[in-house]
Amino acid sequence: MIEYRSLGRGGRSARLDPEWHLSTSSRSRDWLCIVSTLDPYKPPAARLDDPAGSATGAVACPKCGASSASKVSFTWWGGALGPRLFHVMRCQKCRAQFNGRTGASLGKVIVVYQLSALALAAVLFGLWAALRRR
């Protein structure tokens, strides 16, 4: 038995036999949507905190080509938030930092991140100065 949820009028759900579903018209199949039968409580197959493992899809170092890299938790340009936003990894062999998902350099990311932080600080300082004059 497969559980289906109706997308049509009434929004009722029912348990239907797969053979019955295949024998119905295409119009009725358009009204039905299969509800996932996966177990939401089953733990994932790979560890979630696996740094640069094959299950996480991490790329090799663009500078030296080594596949061993570790997650960076703090940088001078992004503090603790920047490395998490941009998936920063550090190569164990040459110590180069790169984006762990794309393998791209972090040069442009650092400049944009610092400029946006500077602009935010300027806006907050302007608001503080305007409120202080009142």
Q: In a 3-state reduction of DSSP, which class is residue 30? A: helix
Q: Is 51 inside any structural domain?
A: no
Q: Is 89 inside any structural domain?
A: yes
Number of domains in the chain: 2
Q: Is 41 inside any structural domain?
A: no
Tokens of 82: 């920047």
Q: Is 82 inside any structural domain?
A: yes
Q: Is 93 inside any structural domain?
A: yes
Q: Is 61 inside any structural domain?
A: no
Q: In a 3-state reduction of DSSP, which class is residue 46? A: coil
> H/E element holding 88?
strand 88-91
Total H helices, total E strands in the chain? 4, 6
Q: Which amino acid is at 94?
A: C
Flag whether the pTM goes above 0.85.
no
| Residue where the block lists tokens 């740094």 | 51
For residue 19, the enclosing domain spans 2-34
Per-residue pLDDT 10s for the chain (134 aa) are: 555 555 555 555 555 555 554 445 555 554 454 545 667 777 767 665 555 444 445 688 888 888 888 899 998 888 888 899 899 999 989 998 999 888 888 889 999 999 999 999 999 999 999 999 88
Nearest Cα to Cα of residue 58 among 43, 73, 70, 44: 70
Q: Is 48 inside any structural domain?
A: no
